[in-house]
Amino acid sequence: MCGIVGYIGKRKAYPILIKGLHRLEYRGYDSAGVALINEAGQLNVYKAKGKVAELEAFCAEKDTCGNIGIAHTRWATHGEPNTVNAHPHYSESERLAIIHNGIIENYAVLKAGLMEQGYTFKSDTDTEVLVQLIEYTQVNRHVDLKTAVQLALQQVIGAYAISILDKTHPDTLIAARKGSPLVVGIGEDEYFLASDATPIVEYTDKVIYIEDEEVVVIHPVTDNPSPVTVTTIGNVQKTPEIKRLELSLSQLEKGGYPHFMLKEIFEQPRTLTDSMRGRVNVRQDNIALSGFIDNKDRFLNAKRIIITACGTSWHAGLIAMYAIEEFAQIPVEVEYSSEFRYRKPVINKDDVVIAISQSGETADTLAAIQLAKEKGAFIFSICNVVGASIPRVSDSGCYTHVGPEIGVASTKAFTAQVTALTMLALCIGREKGTINEEQYLRIVRELGQIPSKIERVLGQDKLIGDFAKIFSYAQNFIYLGRGYNFPVALEGALKLKEISYIHAEGYPAAEMKHGPIALISQEMPVVVVAPHCGTYEKIVSNIQEIKARKGRVIAVVTEGDELVSKIADYCIEVPATEECLTPLLTVIPLQLLAYHIAVVKGCDVDQPRNLAKSVTVE
């Protein structure tokens, strides 16, 4: 997820663009850039690696004149975070400059076609392909820039919010979107573009929300009665509707949610869609993970897979153990990185080590990788930050592409990690022939349904908030699950602990009779993750054992459940799905329960005490 800003109007563009980038830094901050057309008609592009402050320092002595410009703060998806890959990107003639938020899935095909026409590329990005395609289209089809943008975008598969400058038309700002947000601000003789309203709200409350596959042209010249025009990429004229902003700046940064954590919980249908984009192809009944495709033999010849991670990422790894052993039939060990790095483990050259880390900077996981590399193991990392330390020292990997996760309590990164690991298990199993084709196809198709099924679970947010009010008194919780949902119980307990400061433990449900059942009392709520799956009848018995001892049970069940719903005190329903995919649905109520209890208790949800978003020290 990146941030884009544009300006054209009566004032100098640069200060407005830089301030706008600062407002959007929560969307991504591994590099930034700005493009300006000055009074002499020069198109100046300045870019810097790192946060927006680095760009400001770089531009301090530069020509930043001009009343039209575009700017970008990057969250890398294609290509390392560096100045070459930073946006804006010039076209080959350096007449155009573009910024882009999104992922162009078919960029490789488009790039190959342009290279055949003699085009060359400086960066590894999909964005540079787009600006070259627009220039190629304009030159070869002899059309104006707006038409070239429309025609080029008709060839694009994927998501985009773009803005483009043409130094030969310094009075025109063009933008378009599909799948990534784009807002136009209407000021007094000045116009703004941005990924959301946060860079706009201090200048005007009049905005136009651009819809998918729409192109907006801002051309505020004196004799133009319609300075802002909107068409589809098929050039169908649209009537833009001007709306009034009602949210404050702080509310806007959180997307209107009170906390980043709640915003990120509710983002999960979109972020999982982004995470699967270009990888899960339901139409072709196929999963394509480049990190696996390029290293098939390492996985097919692996005698063992070691998963190393910390915290929530470790819980994702535990779920992966069930999936990899079920579908790929490779023995899996899941290690806490902090233990693995010191216990002198036996590591063999034909081992595959999967390192999972949202931040890509967790010190213990980094050290565990170093240890495994020294022993000759193959390192595959699952990470959310392109170019972070862990992916840089890994042999290969898979990015989760969920955008910056600001809340310290990991939510959207967790479901993306589980999705990536499930895709990996399915790819290995299909290649080895250890998963039957019918089951493979069923799961692939069901993966495509998960985002909409998560939407349905999120629809119970109010019910879960009511439960939170009932149980926020508790000093202790127990979370129980079996099979794929045992790690979900651990994750639910961690969510509650880290943001509400209530003690909570996760257990395999069958373990209760080996000691913990002695704890059961009315004062200690028991959360049981009990979707319809292979061990459903067993977990019903576990719930009955708890109820027999006057325990109070909150159960997460499959829609239409008729057994647990009769014995548990409170039920939260999730849609039916494949057993291996149930964690993607059953974790959502636990994220919301922890969030609402923490809010009822007045805790600092986004920045809980004693915690950091990335534990870069031992």
Q: Which parts of this chain interact with ligand AGP (CB under 6 A)?
A: 310-313, 357-359, 362, 365, 408-410, 498, 614-615
Closer to ligand AGP at the Cβ: 84 or 363? 363
Compute the least distance from the CB of residue 358 to ligand AGP, in Å. Answer: 4
Cα separation, 292 vs 51, in Å, equals: 32
User: Cα–chain-centroid distance for residue 599?
Assistant: 24
Closer to ligand AGP at the Cβ: 170 or 608? 608
Nearest position to ligand AGP, beta carbon:
311
Compute the least distance from the CB of residue 579 to ligand AGP, in Å. Answer: 24
Cα separation, 447 vs 48, in Å, equals: 38
Closer to ligand AGP at the Cβ: 172 or 357? 357
Give 435-439's long-range contacts (Cβ < 8 A, gap of 24+): 435/327, 435/328
Q: Report angle CA 290, 293, 297 to the nearest 5 degrees.
A: 145
Report the phi/psi class of residue 603: left, alpha or beta, with left for phi > 0 and alpha for psi in -120 to 50: beta
DSSP 432-473: HT-S-HHHHHHHHHHHHHHHHHHHHHHTTHHHHHHHHHHHTT
Compute the least distance from the CB of residue 613 to ligand AGP, in Å. Answer: 7
Q: Please say whether the beta carbons of 7 and 68 come within 8 A.
A: yes
Compute the least distance from the CB of residue 506 to ligand AGP, in Å. Answer: 13
Q: Please say whether the beta carbons of 182 and 210 come within 8 A.
A: yes
The DSSP letter of residue 286 is: E
Compute the least distance from the CB of residue 264 to ligand AGP, in Å. Answer: 11
Enter the tokens of residue 224.
């133009």
The DSSP letter of residue 516 is: G
- Strands 332-336 and 351-357: what pairing? unpaired
Return the C-alpha torsion angle 49, 54, 60, 62, nearest 10.
10
Give 405-408's long-range contacts (Cβ < 8 A, gap of 24+): 405/264, 405/358, 405/613, 406/26, 406/260, 406/264, 406/606, 406/613, 407/259, 407/260, 407/261, 407/264, 407/605, 407/606, 408/261, 408/498, 408/499, 408/606, 408/607, 408/608, 408/611, 408/612, 408/613
Cα separation, 306 vs 368, in Å, equals: 11
Closer to ligand AGP at the Cβ: 186 or 588? 588
The alpha carbons of the chain give a radius of gyration, in whole angstroms, of: 26
Cα separation, 518 vs 198, in Å, equals: 52
Compute the least distance from the CB of residue 615 to ligand AGP, in Å. Answer: 5
Closer to ligand AGP at the Cβ: 342 or 473? 342
Nearest Cα residue to 194 out of 27, 29, 82? 27
Closer to ligand AGP at the Cβ: 310 or 598? 310
Other C-beta atoms closer than 10 Å to the C-beta of 305 total 27
Closer to ligand AGP at the Cβ: 91 or 359? 359
Compute the least distance from the CB of residue 178 to ligand AGP, in Å. Answer: 31
Q: Which of 51, 243, 432, 613 is catalytic?
A: 613
Q: Is 2 in the active site?
A: yes
Compute the least distance from the CB of residue 342 to ligand AGP, in Å. Answer: 17
Closer to ligand AGP at the Cβ: 549 or 613? 613
The DSSP letter of residue 240 is: P
Q: Which of 2, 383, 398, 533 is catalytic?
A: 2
Q: Is 310 in the active site?
A: no
Q: Is the dihedral of CA 183, 185, 190, 195 positive or negative?
A: negative
Q: Please say whether the beta carbons of 34 and 62 come within 8 A.
A: no
Compute the least distance from the CB of residue 496 to ligand AGP, in Å. Answer: 11
Closer to ligand AGP at the Cβ: 207 or 368? 368
Compute the least distance from the CB of residue 357 to ligand AGP, in Å. Answer: 3
354 CB-contact burial (10 Å; exposed 0-12 / middle 13-18 / buried 19+): buried
Closer to ligand AGP at the Cβ: 195 or 411? 411
Nearest Cα residue to 299 out of 259, 347, 337, 350? 350
Enter the tokens of residue 539.
């977990």
Question: Which residues are part of the catalytic machinery?
Answer: 2, 613
